[in-house]
Structure 1
Amino acid sequence: MSYFLALSKSHGENVLAQYQSLRAEGLLYDVLLEANGTEFPAHKSLLACSSDYFKAMFKDYTKESKANVIHLPTVSATGLQHVLDFIYTSWLSISMETLEETLDAARYLQITEAIKLCSQYIMNNLSPENCIFFANIASHFCLPDAKLAIEKYIISNLWRSLETDFDSVGLLELNLDSMMVVLGSDDIAKVKELSLLTLTLKWLNHDESRLIYGDQLLSHIRYGLVPVEDLTNLYSQSKALQTQDTKSLVLKAVDYHSVDYKQPIEQCKQTTLRSHNTQIILVGGGTANDGLVSTVLTLDFSKGSWKSVKELKSNVQNHCVCVIGNFLYVLGGETPELNDNDAKSATMLVTNRVHRYDPRFNNWKEAAGMLEKRAQFACCVIKHAIFAIGGRSGTGLLHSSVEMYDLNTNKWEKTTELPYKMHGHASTVFNETIYISGGKYVDHRDSSKNLFSYNPLERQWKREAPMTIARFGHQMATVKQTIFTFLGMYEPFCDIEKYDPMQNQWTRLKPLLLDRFCYGIAVMDENILLVGGKKWQDSQEVATQNIIIYDVGSDSWEEAYKLPLPLYGLQCAVLQLTE
Structure 2
Amino acid sequence: MSSFLAYCKSHRGMVFTQYQMLRAQRQLCDVSLIVDGNEFPAHKSLLACSSDYFRAMFKDYTKESKATVIHLKVISSTGLQTILDFIYTSWLSLSLNTLEDTLEAASYLQVLDAIPLCSQFLINTCDFESCCYSANIASKFYLTDALTEAEKYIINNLWRLLQEDLCDIELLELNVKSMINFIKSNDIPRVSEKCLLTLVLNWLQYDNTRLAYAKVLFDNIRYALLPLDILRKLYTQTDVPLTASIKCMIIKAINYHSAPSRQPLLQDKYSTLRNQKGWIMLVGGTANETFVENMLGFDVYSHKWRSVTTLPLKVQHHCTCVIGNFLYVLGGETPERPQNGTKDATLAVTNIVYRYDPRFDQWLQVSCMLEHRAQFSCCVVDKYIFAIGGRGDQQTLLSSVELYDINRDTWTKSKDLPFKMHGHASTVHNNIIYISGGKTDTQVNSCKDVYLLNRLEGQWKKQAPMSIARFGHQMATVKDSIFTFLGIYEPFSDIEKYEPKHNQWTRLRPLPFDRFCYGLVVVEQTVLLLGGKKWQDAQEVPTQNIVGYDTENDRWEEICSLAFPFSGLQCSVLKLSDITESNEKFSKAYTLKKSTISSGIEE
TM-score, normalised via structure 1 length = 0.95
**Structure 1 residue aligned with 2:337:** 338
- Is 1:408 the counterpart of 2:403 in the alignment? no
The answer to whether structure 1 residue 277 and structure 2 residue 277 are counterparts is yes
SS in 1 for 2:419: coil
Counterparts of 1:91-490 in structure 2, within 5 Å, are 91-165=91-165, 168=168, 170-240=170-240, 242-289=242-289, 291-342=290-341, 344-490=343-489
Consecutive unaligned residues of structure 2, counting only runs of 5 or more, are 579-603
Stretch of structure 1 that moved more, 217-226 or 500-509: 500-509
Change (3 A) 1:434 1:18: farther
Identical aligned pairs, as a percentage? 57
Alignment of 1:554-569 (within 5 A): 554-569=553-568
Give, in whole Å, the separation in 2 of the partners of 1:10 and 1:488: 80
Check whether the contact 2:205–2:240 (CA below 8 A) recurs between aligned residues.
no
Q: What is the number of equivalent residue pairs in this alignment?
A: 578
Q: Distance in 2 between matches of 1:65 and 1:366?
A: 84
How has the CA–CA distance of structure 1 residues 388 and 8 changed in structure 2, closer, same or farther, with 3 Å as cutoff? farther
Which amino acid counterpart does residue 140 of structure 1 have in structure 2? K
Q: Secondary structure at the match of 2:279?
A: strand
Distance 2:166 2:216 in 1: 21
2:524 matched to 1:521?
A: no
1:347 CA displacement: 1.1
Asked if 2 retains the 8 angstrom alpha-carbon contact of 1:235 and 1:241, the reply is no
CA distance in 2, matches of 1:39, 1:471: 93
Once the two structures are TM-superposed, the CA of residue 398 in structure 1 deviates from its matched residue by 1.5
Equivalents in 1 of 2:462, 2:57: separation in Å? Answer: 86
Relative contact order, CA 8 A, sep 6+: which one is greater? Answer: 2
In structure 2, the residue corresponding to 1:321 is in which secondary structure?
strand
d(CA) in 1 for partners of 2:3, 2:379: 79
Partner of 2:577: 578
Cα distance in 2 for partners of 1:238, 1:560 equals 55
Letter in 2 for 1:443: T
How far 1:472 sits from its partner (Å)? 1.1
Structure 2 length-normalised TM: 0.91
Rate the CA distance shift 1:506–1:89 in 2: closer, same or farther, 3 A.
farther
Structure 2 counterpart of 1:233, one-letter code = K
Structure 2 Cα separation of the partners of residues 508 and 69 of structure 1? 91
Q: Could you tell me whether the CA contact under 8 Å between 1:166 and 1:172 is conserved in 2?
A: no
Q: Which position in structure 2 is the counterpart of 1:549?
A: 548
Check conservation: 1:161, 1:169, Cα contact below 8 A: no
> How far does residue 183 in structure 1 lie from its aligned partner after superposition?
0.8
Q: Which structure 1 residue ranges, 5 or more long, are not aligned? A: none
SS at match of 1:565: coil
CA 1:11/1:420 → structure 2, altered by over 3 Å: closer, same or farther? farther
Deviation at 1:444, TM superposition (A): 0.8
Residue 253 of structure 1 deviates from its aligned partner by: 0.6
Residues 422 and 106 of structure 1: CA distance in aligned 2, closer, same or farther (over 3 Å)? same
Q: CA deviation at 1:548?
A: 1.0
SS in 2 for 1:332: strand
Question: Residues 161 and 167 of structure 2 are in contact (CA less than 8 Å); yes or no, is this contact kept in structure 1?
Answer: no
SS at match of 2:305: strand
Deviates more, 1:42-51 or 1:97-106: 42-51
Aligned to 2:20: 20
CA distance in 1 between counterparts of 2:505 and 2:12 reads: 72
Question: How far did residue 164 of structure 1 move?
Answer: 3.1
Q: Which amino acid aligns with 2:306?
A: K
Q: Please say which of residues 231-240 and 4-13 is displaced more in the overlay.
A: 4-13
Q: Distance between the aligned counterparts of 2:239 and 2:431, measured in 1?
A: 47
Larger deviation, residues 28-37 vs 526-535: 28-37
Q: Name the amino acid aligned to 1:324.
A: I
Contact 1:404 1:413 in 2 (8 A): yes
CA RMSD of aligned residues (A): 2.0
| Secondary structure of 2:510's aligned partner | coil
8 Å contact kept, 2:215–2:242: no
Shift of 1:29: 2.6
What is the CA deviation profile of residues 359-382 of structure 1, one whole-angstrom value per residue up to 9, with x for unaligned ones? 001111111111111111111111
Kindly provide the amino acid, as one letter, of the partner of residue 92 in structure 1: L
